[in-house]
Structure 1
């Protein structure tokens, strides 16, 4: 969260420097704006290279994260909520298949509790069963059923493959936005460079004209 705040402040500061530099024709502010844009472009390129380099480990990490969420489903409310949202949103159950919930101490078929051989409600085909509230017992006993029978009650496909597809789509969308932002930043950088050249040319012209004006006015005053 702090990184997002600092990033927003940096973008605001660079944008303000560009606006004031263009309005006030201040070369120093325009140079700060250009330097900030170059820094952003370098960071975006590094982020893209990092995603490409870590793409394989990132996908493997998703699979491991699913298994961790299954194991600690009842122990961590945040993991419980996250796993439920993934299973509901992607209409899947478990990591590779719904049988992965055997790894959970409470849902395992050898567990002594009432949840033995059951699945979370987020695995059910219709967890609300046309009602307003979620039926937490809709997945009871589903782990003990054959796959064909379980398929009529719960999602049997694991979340690993759908989650990887979702990640690929998200990365492609983010990459497209990053390329568009880089093009806009490149155009802004060219405009800033043009303004800096114009200011430098104006100062050079003023410097060349200054001594001539002084030389012409000297005899008049004498």
Structure 2
């Protein structure tokens, strides 16, 4: 009777792996892609910080888009490094760190979404506080100014103009800051203005003196709907989309 060949007790070969090559290289490719993107984000953020004046940078450090870009870039770099090297080398430790980080981020996003709906009033107040803080430094930081202008044009369609006149503040024509008819401190940003000419050709003087006007009078020249209201309405209209994301 013929005998069976003995099966070696060790691994089949040096190239043997329990991990599917498709899953391995797909994970490696996407982590490598986001790893390179994160390095670009950090480089752009650092470059933007170095170009700014020191006094302006310190004054609006909490709302500086460059700082946010650097922080997100560094976090993404570290996480994708673990996923990239871990998948390529099949390093269990790095893959576990990568998995734990993604799980924590997912849970934080889920918790933030739930708490945002449960404590909607507090969340709305916090968002208003952040936006008001950014508006205070509108002229101090060009990056922040461009970000706010983009939000007014593309996202809220002039909704940030509520800070000032439409926020319920009374007309301030009698105060020193509005004593000069066209003083910039009594103005609103140019994207707030309804004037078609100002939309075609940017004129920073278009919004001057608007905060000295009453609500109804100003509504004929600028957008007076608040961005917070627009964001809340958009959120309520896209609950399923946000839940899927």
**TM-score, normalised on structure 1?**
0.54
Distance 1:3 1:175, change over 3 A: farther
Aligned length: 162
Q: Which has the higher contact order (CA 8 A, sep 6+)?
A: 1
- Contact 1:124 1:154 survives alignment (8 Å): yes
Say whether 1:73 aligns with 2:141.
Answer: no
Say whether 1:50 aligns with 2:50.
Answer: no
Say whether 1:62 aligns with 2:127.
Answer: yes
| Alignment match, 1:119 | 188
State the alpha-carbon separation in 2 of the partners of residues 5 and 162 from structure 1: 34
Distance 1:45 1:77, change over 3 A: closer
Say whether 1:82 aligns with 2:147.
Answer: yes
Q: CA deviation at 1:88?
A: 2.1
- Contact 1:101 1:119 survives alignment (8 Å): no
- Cα RMSD for the two superposed structures: 3.8
| Alignment match, 1:183 | none
**TM-score, normalised on structure 2?**
0.50
Which among 81, 86, 94 is matched to residue 161 of structure 2?
A: 94
- Contact 2:190 2:205 survives alignment (8 Å): yes
State the alpha-carbon separation in 1 of the partners of residues 77 and 238 from structure 2: 23
Say whether 1:11 aligns with 2:72.
Answer: no
Query: Could you give the per-residue CA deviations for residues 180-220 of structure 1, whole angstroms, max 9, x where no partner exists?
Result: xxxxxxxxxxxxxxxxxxxxxxxxxxxxxxxxxxxxxxxxx
Structure (1 or 2) with the larger CA radius of gyration: 1
| Alignment match, 2:37 | none
The gaps in structure 2 that reach 5 residues or longer are 1-72
The gaps in structure 1 that reach 5 residues or longer are 19-28, 178-222
| Alignment match, 1:2 | 74
State the alpha-carbon separation in 2 of the partners of residues 46 and 150 from structure 1: 44
Say whether 1:158 aligns with 2:226.
Answer: yes
